[in-house]
Structure 1
Amino acid sequence: MPKTFTDLKRHALNGETMGTRWSALFHKPAEFNVAPVAAAMAAAVTEVDQQMSIWKPDSDLMRLNAAPPGVWVECPEHLMIVLEMAVSIGRASSGAFDIGVGDAVSAWGFGPATLDPARIQAALSEPRRPTHDILELDLPGRRVRKIAPVMLDLSGIAKGYGVDRLTDVARRFQISEALLSIDGELRGIGLQPDGLPWSIAIEDPDFSVRKPLAIVALQDAAVATSGDYRHWIDVGAKRLSHTMDPARGGPLAEAPASVTVIAETCMAADAWATVLMVKGSREGAELARQMQLNSLFVEREGDGLRQTPVGPLFEPADRHPIVVRF
């Protein structure tokens, strides 16, 4: 006799990764053995972290960073996948997404090192070339070469890719309906047992209180948000977010409070949310329309917020919740 959703047990797995936590929510019969799933998911995100972390001196990314220009460096499969996507989105965004801001991230104290005024000045004054012009990828050979000095940082894309890896593991264990996440990057596959999409809260960009701003219902789609309200520093009366402006080598001077992007993969959503944050509300919204990116811009106006949805998935704009299916 086939099982109904009332016969299923809710399984919630989670663990530490990338300075935050990963989670997986799915429903299976009570006798389903979740132990190998939990182990495989933990291993998958650990692998991403070990390959792409700037906090681990022995990561594959830091090994690439340490290599001198002109030297080919062998890189593992997952790092190559992320570098290829990063270079592609960097080129498509005219450099708004640029993974070559590691020097600025470190100088401003958003990496393992503390804030360093001398390094800040160096990052701000250094002539900057877009990374997609100075990073050569040999995909068949799984190797990378820098043709000029650059310090890479994958914090704007690695967590999203980690969520996609969690999704791969879920499917490998015949889990076709699940909600996977790392911090604020999420991906929903299939439907909940009651036939409804996965309801996701888009966070209010409040510096002190975590609360929902809007709801998105996901079915086979991913969502990521970039904002100024999680990680920042105060410089005098100015609050600066962790998102770097690749053109100047420092935190964004003016930016939306947050930008949320919905895409087929979490890696793409993660990277494009950063792009639109860097571009700003006006240019970002225009780029989102051109690229057909489903996005939500949130700006502070006085004591309130202004929301600007862009993309066909947000139409009609007054639909609640927004149901997203790819």
Structure 2
Amino acid sequence: MFRVSLLKNWLAFFTLAILVSCSPAKPVTEQYQLNGNTMGTYYVVKFYSANMVDSDALQKKIETELELVNDLMSTYRPDSELMRFNRHSAATVFPVSTQTRTVVLEALRIAEQTQGALDVTVGPLVELWGFGARGRITQAPEPAIIAQTRAAVGYDKLQLSSEGLYKAEPTLAVDLSPIAKGFGVDQVAAILEQHSIVNYLVEIGGEMRLKGAKPDGKPWKIAIEKPLTTERATQRILVPGDIGVATSGDYRNYFEEDGVRYSHLLDPRSGKPISNRTVSVTVLHPSCMTADGYATALNVMAADDAIAFAEQHQLAVLLVQKTDVGFTELTSSAFKPYLTE
């Protein structure tokens, strides 16, 4: 009996060993990272996949898409679709691509909603203040020149129809910089999802889209930068979940004259750089393009007005203000669930 029992145990062990060896191996989840330059800044794509990914082919597809966005919307490329429209002075409709139409449509929606705090027709003012393709300046423009330039600005002078774009003012010029990076992020995220990649982080110059988690189940965490000009430091750590994130700040791109700092963020309503104490605004939204546009608009507004707007429209917003002793935060109700300890 003892021998039979031993034999049975040995046979059972042998059978189990065969079953284990024949079972398919658990797929190994690989981490991938793609890096490059676009839109005058950098891009980073991080993702995890249990399937083999041809990262070179994927990166080529991503860069082709980002190059297309530049060819359509860059103000630094004279032959971009946007710059050709800006030079178009005839009283006729200018045909535009589906991509440009999408971005302009959202820009005009946010402009109307924010009563012009976001206005992509500020192109002439951007150039006047030295923050455009023509290069920097060291002296603030004369008030008369600002007023004259501002007369040609106004989102109500830009019309979008089924045929294309139309300008009611011949010298009107559009600058999609406040929203185009976010659009680029959304386009890259769409490419990843077309390849069945559902755990990713996409960033273009600080604007992001996140989805899924890491292989150990931990969520993506991101750092919101402290608005300092002298060093890199963290203001907040966020756990955003599946969402787009955009931050607008005035603390890196500016010039000074006689002790006065002139930000690259212009208030379209005054024609001048913003003069409030807001130094950065972070917005969370399913669309990074939309988050990008709102972040700029809320940075232009007075802080109390920005938070009131966020509450009214249920936007997740973190606003950082400069004080005499450092920085203070204002958050909307919809933002609070994203804060970590």
TM-score (norm 1): 0.91
Bigger Cα displacement from structure 2, 267-276 vs 108-117: 108-117
For the 8 Å contact 2:207–2:288, the answer to whether it is kept is yes
For the 8 Å contact 2:69–2:184, the answer to whether it is kept is yes
The aligned runs of 1:263-274 (5 Å cut-off) are 263-274=285-296
For the 8 Å contact 2:225–2:232, the answer to whether it is kept is yes
For the 8 Å contact 1:159–1:185, the answer to whether it is kept is yes
Gaps of at least 5 residues in structure 2 are 1-23
Alpha-carbon distance in 2 for matches of 1:20, 1:128: 31
Displacement of 1:30: 7.3
Tell whether 2:206 aligns with 1:206: no
For the 8 Å contact 1:88–1:132, the answer to whether it is kept is no
Q: What amino acid is aligned across from residue 249 of structure 1 in structure 2? A: G
Tell whether 2:302 aligns with 1:280: yes
Displacement of 1:131: 3.4
Name the counterpart of 1:258.
Answer: 280
Bigger Cα displacement from structure 2, 25-34 vs 102-111: 25-34
Q: What amino acid is aligned across from residue 243 of structure 1 in structure 2? A: L
Q: Of the candidates 317, 320, 326, which is equivalent to residue 340 of structure 2? A: 320
Structure 1 residues 58 and 190, CA gap change in structure 2 (3 angstroms)? same
Displacement of 1:145: 0.6
Q: What amino acid is aligned across from residue 190 of structure 2 in structure 1? A: D
Q: Of the candidates 70, 78, 99, which is equivalent to residue 57 of structure 1? A: 78
Tell whether 2:89 aligns with 1:82: no
Structure 1 residues 235 and 65, CA gap change in structure 2 (3 angstroms)? same
Alpha-carbon distance in 2 for matches of 1:269, 1:96: 14
Alpha-carbon distance in 2 for matches of 1:100, 1:176: 36
The aligned runs of 1:234-245 (5 Å cut-off) are 234-245=256-267
Per-residue CA deviations over 1:136-166 (Å, capped at 9, x if unaligned) read 1123x3x111111311111100001010011
Name the counterpart of 2:38.
Answer: 17
Name the counterpart of 2:60.
Answer: 39
Displacement of 1:2: 6.8
Bigger Cα displacement from structure 2, 26-35 vs 79-88: 26-35
Name the counterpart of 2:213.
Answer: 191
The aligned runs of 1:160-175 (5 Å cut-off) are 160-175=182-197
Q: Calculate percent identity across the aligned residue pairs.
A: 32
Q: Of the candidates 161, 181, 199, which is equivalent to residue 138 of structure 1? A: 161
Q: What amino acid is aligned across from residue 18 of structure 1 in structure 2? A: M
Alpha-carbon distance in 1 for matches of 2:59, 2:187: 13
Per-residue CA deviations over 1:168-205 (Å, capped at 9, x if unaligned) read 11111111110001011011012222222211100000
Displacement of 1:44: 1.1
The aligned runs of 1:95-114 (5 Å cut-off) are 95-114=116-135
Alpha-carbon distance in 1 for matches of 2:178, 2:134: 18
Name the counterpart of 1:324.
Answer: none
Q: What amino acid is aligned across from residue 189 of structure 2 in structure 1? A: T
Alpha-carbon distance in 1 for matches of 2:176, 2:145: 18
TM-score (norm 2): 0.87
Q: What amino acid is aligned across from residue 99 of structure 1 in structure 2? A: V
Q: What amino acid is aligned across from residue 98 of structure 1 in structure 2? A: D
Alpha-carbon distance in 2 for matches of 1:129, 1:103: 8
State the SS of the aligned residue for 2:221.
strand
Gaps of at least 5 residues in structure 1 are 322-326
Structure 1 residues 125 and 60, CA gap change in structure 2 (3 angstroms)? same
Alpha-carbon distance in 1 for matches of 2:32, 2:227: 30
Bigger Cα displacement from structure 2, 277-286 vs 69-78: 69-78
Q: Greater strand share, 1 or 2?
A: 1
Name the counterpart of 2:328.
Answer: 306
Q: What amino acid is aligned across from residue 155 of structure 2 in structure 1? A: H
Displacement of 1:217: 1.2
Alpha-carbon distance in 2 for matches of 1:269, 1:3: 39
Displacement of 1:32: 2.3
Per-residue CA deviations over 1:249-304 (Å, capped at 9, x if unaligned) read 12112240111111111101100001110112111111111111110110111231
Structure 1 residues 240 and 13, CA gap change in structure 2 (3 angstroms)? same
Alpha-carbon distance in 2 for matches of 1:93, 1:130: 16
Q: What count of residue pairs does the alignment treat as equivalent?
A: 315
Structure 1 residues 256 and 118, CA gap change in structure 2 (3 angstroms)? closer
Name the counterpart of 1:48.
Answer: 69
Q: What amino acid is aligned across from residue 204 of structure 2 in structure 1? A: I
The higher radius of gyration belongs to 2
For the 8 Å contact 1:180–1:186, the answer to whether it is kept is yes
Displacement of 1:132: 3.2
Bigger Cα displacement from structure 2, 186-195 vs 78-87: 186-195
